[in-house]
Amino acid sequence: MSVLTPLLLRGLTGSARRLPVPCARVHSKPPREQLGTMDIAIGLTSCFVCFLLPSGWVLSHLENYKKRE
């Protein structure tokens, strides 16, 4: 790296530091209906089935994928 590299990088990022960042004003109301225990159980089960089950299956059969046939 040359001696001028930090100066060049500082020159490129210096203008970005002075830009104002807008502040998000997010307001929400309380939910119309409270989630029940069954709703939460169904949501967690569907997340498990959709994401964790396929990745677990692939990881358990990883040795089969490594073999060249």
Q: Indicate whether this model's pTM tops 0.75.
A: no
DSSP 35: -
Q: Which CATH class is domain 3-66?
A: few secondary structures
Q: Can you give the residue ranges of every domain in the chain? A: 3-66
* Nearby residues of 58 by Cβ (< 8 Å), 6 or more positions away: 65
| pLDDT per residue as tens digits for the range 1-54 | 577 777 777 766 666 666 677 777 888 888 889 999 999 999 999 999 999 999
DSSP 4-32: THHHHHHHHHHHHHTS--PPP----PPPS
